[in-house]
Chains A and B, each alone.
Chain A
Amino acid sequence: AQTVTQSQPEMSVQEAETVTLSCTYDTSENNYYLFWYKQPPSRQMILVIRQEAYKQQNATENRFSVNFQKAAKSFSLKISDSQLGDTAMYFCAFMSDTDKLIFGTGTRLQVFP
């Protein structure tokens, strides 16, 4: 069975600084997808970024980028130029081909002015 581990329950960063959230996963699959979702206080689940395992290039979406290390089964999220609106719970999630999402336990990020 696949598992997703987020070892940082809480993180904090000052506005305009950079922060990295960690995520590791375990799977025997070769084809899968990895996601980061953001859940602000409104509790809406917002897709931040996705990575397809067969792609070696790390995904980037504006200030958000990932460091995908397939051999190490690691998928960290880097937030550059942090903004107050980035304050939220961040979930790392795994999905094998045509399957369901499996979430980690989340990292609560607080951005301070």
Chain B
Amino acid sequence: AAGVIQSPRHLIKEKRETATLKCYPIPRHDTVYWYQQGPGQDPQFLISFYEKMQSDKGSIPDRFSAQQFSDYHSELNMSSLELGDSALYFCASSPRGRDGNTIYFGEGSWLTVV
């Protein structure tokens, strides 16, 4: 079965640089979520989209932005990177209202800021 695809899997950036993470949800899933997991922490919700519209916002810094495109893929843009942005970034998708609202995660994108 198709899963959530994230790219790149690993990314190394310098402070103050910009990074873009991409996410391709499971086909026919209409909701996409972005989570950030720091070392030794639980995943923290950043932002979500439903049918290409932002549906909820969590602890996402103003330096970060995201959008969902017409083909349902999503991109997380991170600017003015700081050392504290080093984390594992998960994208997840769900078929809202179906399949028990289950959220399926991609394998994550490792961002290291040096």
| Chain A residues with a Cβ under 8 A of chain B | 33, 35, 37, 42-47, 50, 52, 91, 95, 97-106
Contact = CB atoms under 8 A, between A and B. Distances in A.
B102 A45 contact: no
Given A45-B90, A98-B97, A100-B56, A50 B102 contact: yes
B27 interface: no
Nearest to A4: B42
B58 A100 contact: yes
Interface of B: 33, 35, 37, 41-43, 45, 48, 50, 56, 58, 88, 90, 92, 96-97, 100-105, 107-108
A101 B31 CA distance: 12
Contacts of B43: 45, 91, 101, 103
Nearest to A37: B105
Given A35-B103, A91-B42, 14 more contacts: A33-B101, A43-B37, A43-B88, A43-B108, A44-B107, A45-B90, A46-B105, A50-B100, A97-B101, A99-B56, A101-B33, A103-B43, A105-B42, A106-B42
Contact of A45 (B45, B58, B101, B108): B108
Nearest to A98: B96
B3 to A, nearest CB: 10
Contacts of B107: 42, 44
Nearest to A108: B40
A101 B45 contact: yes
Contacts of B45: 100-102
A52 B100 contact: yes
Nearest to A52: B100
25 contacts: A33-B101, A33-B102, A37-B105, A43-B88, A43-B108, A44-B105, A45-B90, A45-B92, A46-B105, A47-B102, A47-B104, A50-B100, A50-B102, A95-B103, A97-B101, A98-B50, A98-B101, A100-B56, A101-B43, A101-B45, A101-B92, A101-B103, A103-B43, A104-B42, A105-B42
Contacts of B33: 100-101
